[in-house]
């Protein structure tokens, strides 16, 4: 279902990482994943060659996006977050909603799924931090302008936590329901390790089994962003060690 994710492990010594479904073809039996190389495992994936195998992949995990007809839904994606919004856009369009997409990235080279979104959405608004394409600045300005036109029944956002926090702050004064897809550190993805716990409306929730989507106006963003940094020193050491072992494999 749109909104769900998988957890994969590249090889027997690999860590488990969660990745959202960027496209689903139940007839063909395929899924698409879009991965942004930010650390050891995602970089290791990015240098894999066509035809190489991923050792195991567990899913679908989490709950699918609640799809029902709304007058106008605005989907706000940042970075890799635009990809999981694509099947969500198709599902909202299929039930007769008008779908508007606001997508942002640091620069135009990092924009993805623009053409795909244009095929599904009535409008695609692009913003880049450096102004290399579309509106210069962050996605919230384009979102605010679209909200001011009225008629929006729902906002769904996927991307970095800081972006989803400010998207939620932007929609709050308009009273528009805002669904966010949370991305805490995950291990098992089945509600057993507690690694993905988040605080929503003052209650502890597990993003893997209760989410990953929650009401953005009720999320404790500070706790989420603090917990995301729990293993930063270990992640850096692990990535540095991997880079030393693979000098020459990396393009940069
Ligand atoms: C439900 C869910 C769906 C996701 N979907 C996608 C997706 O479709 N495509 C994609 O590229 N990534 C996705 N992510 C994020 C992805 O899982 C992380 O980027 C990945 O685990 C990083 O692993 P690494 O070993 O490469 O880097 P690490 O060394 O583990 O981390 C490198 C850097 O990335 C940050 N990071 C680590 N984990 C996360 C995280 N969960 N969210 C945000 N930043 C993180 C770290 O703080 C650190 O700064 C998703 C995360 C969740 C929880
Ligand atoms: S990832 Fe372990 S409880 Fe959610």
Instruction: Pick from 17, 24, 32 the residue to mutate for probing ligand 1's pocket: most ligand atoms within 8 Å of its CB.
Output: 17
Compute the distance between CA of residue 83 and CA of residue 85 in angstroms, rounded to an integer. 5
Name the phi and psi angles at 73, rounded to 5: -115, 135
34 lines ligand 1 (CB under 6 A): yes
Q: Are 102 and 114 in contact (CB under 8 A)?
A: no
The per-residue pLDDT for 252 is 47
198 lines ligand 2 (CB under 6 A): no
208 lines ligand 2 (CB under 6 A): yes
Which pTM does this prediction carry?
0.92
Compute the distance between CA of residue 140 and CA of residue 216 in angstroms, rounded to an integer. 14
Instruction: Pick from 24, 39, 179 the residue to mutate for probing ligand 1's pocket: most ligand atoms within 8 Å of its CB.
Output: 39
Compute the distance between CA of residue 23 and CA of residue 32 in angstroms, rounded to an integer. 5
Buried/exposed 49-58: b ≥16 CB within 10 Å, e otherwise: eeeeeeeeee
Rounded to the nearest angstrom, the distance between the alpha carbon of 150 and the centre of ligand 1 is 34
**Ligand 1 atom at shortest distance from the alpha carbon of 161:** 43
The per-residue pLDDT for 26 is 85
Alpha carbon 28 to its chain's center: 24
Using alpha carbons only, how large is the chain's radius of gyration in Å?
18
Compute the distance between CA of residue 56 and CA of residue 93 in angstroms, rounded to an integer. 33
Q: Are 199 and 223 in contact (CB under 8 A)?
A: yes
The per-residue pLDDT for 251 is 46
Instruction: Provide the residue-wise pLDDT of the chain in tens; the chain has 252 residues.
Output: 999 999 999 999 999 999 999 999 989 999 999 999 999 999 999 999 999 999 999 999 999 999 999 999 999 999 889 999 999 999 999 999 999 999 999 999 989 999 999 999 999 999 999 989 988 988 999 999 999 999 999 999 999 999 999 999 999 999 999 999 999 999 999 999 999 999 999 999 999 999 999 999 999 999 999 999 999 999 999 999 999 888 755 544
């Amino acid at each position: 279902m749109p909104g769900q994710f998988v957890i994969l492990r590249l090889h027997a010594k690999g860590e488990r990482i969660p990745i959202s479904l960027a496209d689903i073809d139940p007839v063909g039996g395929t899924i698409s994943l879009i991965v942004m190389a930010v650390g050891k495992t995602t970089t290791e994936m990015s240098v894999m060659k066509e035809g190489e195998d991923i050792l195991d992949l567990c899913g679908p995990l989490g709950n699918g996006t609640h799809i029902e007809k709304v007058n106008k839904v605005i989907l706000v994606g940042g970075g890799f977050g635009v990809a999981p919004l694509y099947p969500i856009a198709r599902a909202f369009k299929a039930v007769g909603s008008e779908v508007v997409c606001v997508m942002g990235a640091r620069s135009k080279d990092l924009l993805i799924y623009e053409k795909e979104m244009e095929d599904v959405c009535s409008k695609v608004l692009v913003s880049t931090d450096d102004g290399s394409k579309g509106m210069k600045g962050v996605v919230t300005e384009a979102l605010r302008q679209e909200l001011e036109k009225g008629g929006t029944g729902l906002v769904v956002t996927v991307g970095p936590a800081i972006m989803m926090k400010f998207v939620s702050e932007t929609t709050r004064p308009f009273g528009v329901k805002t669904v966010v897809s949370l991305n805490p550190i995950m291990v098992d993805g089945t509600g057993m390790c507690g690694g993905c716990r988040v605080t929503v409306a003052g209650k502890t929730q597990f993003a893997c089994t209760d989410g990953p989507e929650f009401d953005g106006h009720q999320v404790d963003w500070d706790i989420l962003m603090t917990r995301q940094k729990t293993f930063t020193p270990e992640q850096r050491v692990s990535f540095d060690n991997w880079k030393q072992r693979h000098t020459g494999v990396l393009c940069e």
